[in-house]
Amino acid sequence: MEQTTNNLPPEILETIFGYLPAAQLLRIRLVCRYWRDIVIGDSKLMVKLTLRFPKNITINKRYTPKHLPAAATKVCFESVKIVGIPTWWSSFALNLTHLKIQFSETSLPTFLEMLRSTPNLKRLKLFCVKLTKLADEPPNFTLNKLEKLYLNSICETKILRLFGPMCPNLKDFYLFMRAENPNHDARCVIQFVQTVEKTLESLELYTTKNFLAELSTFKELKLKRLVYNWVEEPEEELVQFCRTQPLIEELVTAQSCLSNSALTEIGHSLPNLKHLSTRFKPDCSKHATFINAMPNLEHLSLINDYSEVNFGGCQSPNLKHLYLGYMRPTRNSIQQYLNACPNLNCLEMDRCTFTSWDEIFIPAGSLKLLQTLELGTLDLENVTDVTFGKMPNLCRLRLIGFKMANPVMAALFRACDQLRLEELNGWKLDEEEALKFAMQEGREWRTMTLGVPRAGGVGENVADCGTVSQEARGTSREEGGLGIFGRVRGFFEKMFDN
């Protein structure tokens, strides 16, 4: 095998391998040493992979891993103690664009020495990192290319005083640290945001009282994305803040319940709003007419407290993804709304109450572009009578945690001409019955999964260097979806492993 593949010039193999996704690239690397050397020696291929150093080790000046891929651009240290910087780091780190350290310990001087050798770093993530020997003296270097800084459960917010001068071109800042944490100094966070306000576009953090009011005074702050989590924040402060940030395209308010009137004002203040995720508190009229004040919405996620919501008269001509959770839509109002969402391709509903399946599947059948339908733990008064509209483009169906009568399931399969991927997780029917109905349709199923799917990963050892693995995907914000089955703890919870 090696003799045959060695006849191909590396330039040709690099071009071929460039079309492969990360998981296949990992397998290709195991075919032979020649292919392995091509993969780990090409920065364009290695950009798809993350180099993970071994866990539970101490890294000091004498630490020297074997078979270190010089072309690595993404590196992860997990569960390590870094007490010194090896000599090879200064040259190896020059190519790094992504650095992640989690569940580890090091001193601030050692950490800064690491960063000094990463002039091309674009993304830095610290997750549960214990930093010792903290000091307020600013570093004498800058990371001019650093655009994304993610800090999760760091020791204290005072470290932000160092990052401010170090990151002159920061665009994306994420801070996960509860406001009630004694080491959370709101003033440090506000000062940091003010330091980077000229370039900052995305802000995601737990806020404290009056935080948004302070940000509203920043003249050069021009956010495109805001994710904030503060239960007691008055909705008036958010409304006022949105008036000062008309460029916001994505707004996520995790725990605060916003009224129809407040959301309507927000919609008028944010003409570019494309993504809204919030808890909705309907007034006595039960209407969700705020939707009409947001005509450019492409992604809408609404969570309620099981109260009634009336979607009648609402229109979202550009909506592509809709998630509804924990609510009781008034009868036929969902059908009216979905008829006014001609571009919807993904519909998710979890823990919602309907009178019958007709309220779901008749409007779903009117969505000509619908490709994904996910239904979880729905409460239906009538679980037998159903009329299905044809769903010609539906290719992904997930039904979780409730019982569907056998004739209803059979009719559902017949309504989905293009269905190729079927997942019946937590299904209460006998698995043989489910398979029987599926096979009766005479369709070639690519994949059918019955029961709860198992999470899996791909990774291979690279001698003593650690693990090269594919970059984590999933329901991160970059993927554009939240997913009802990864949202059990609330849609604010961040997938920090991205």
Would residue 407 count as lying in a domain?
no
pLDDT above 90 coverage of the chain, percent: 44
Do residues 53 and 189 both lie within one domain? yes
Residue numbers of the domain that contains 14: 1-45
Would residue 372 count as lying in a domain?
no
**pLDDT tens string 430-461:** 445 555 555 555 554 444 444 433 333 333 33
Query: For residue 155, what is the domain's CATH number?
Result: 3.80.10.10
Burial class (CB in 10 A: 0-12, 13-18, 19+), 163: buried
Do residues 227 and 96 both lie within one domain? no
Query: For residue 277, what is the domain's CATH number?
Result: 3.80.10
Last residue of a domain, one of 314, 344, 374: 344
Last residue of a domain, one of 10, 30, 45: 45
Residue 114 confidence (pLDDT):
96
Nearest to 13 by CA among 52, 53, 41: 41
User: Is residue 311 pLDDT above 90, yes or no?
Assistant: yes
Instruction: Kindly give, in sequence order, each residue whose CB lies less than 8 Å from that of residue 140, ignoring residues fewer than 6 positions away.
Output: none
Would residue 481 count as lying in a domain?
no
Band the pLDDT of 229: cuts 50, 70, 90.
confident
User: Is residue 136 pLDDT above 80, yes or no?
Assistant: no
Residue 469 confidence (pLDDT):
58
Do residues 217 and 263 both lie within one domain? yes
The tally of domains found in the chain comes to: 3
Instruction: Kindly give, in sequence order, each residue whose CB lies less than 8 Å from that of residue 154, ignoring residues fewer than 6 positions away.
Output: 126, 129, 131, 177
Would residue 142 count as lying in a domain?
yes
Would residue 381 count as lying in a domain?
no
Residue 184 confidence (pLDDT):
67
Do residues 212 and 196 both lie within one domain? no
**Between residues 397 and 78, which one has the greater pLDDT?**
78
- Predicted TM-score of the model (pTM): 0.81
Last residue of a domain, one of 200, 224, 249: 200
Beta bridge partners of 127: 102, 152
Residue 224 confidence (pLDDT):
98
Band the pLDDT of 21: cuts 50, 70, 90.
confident
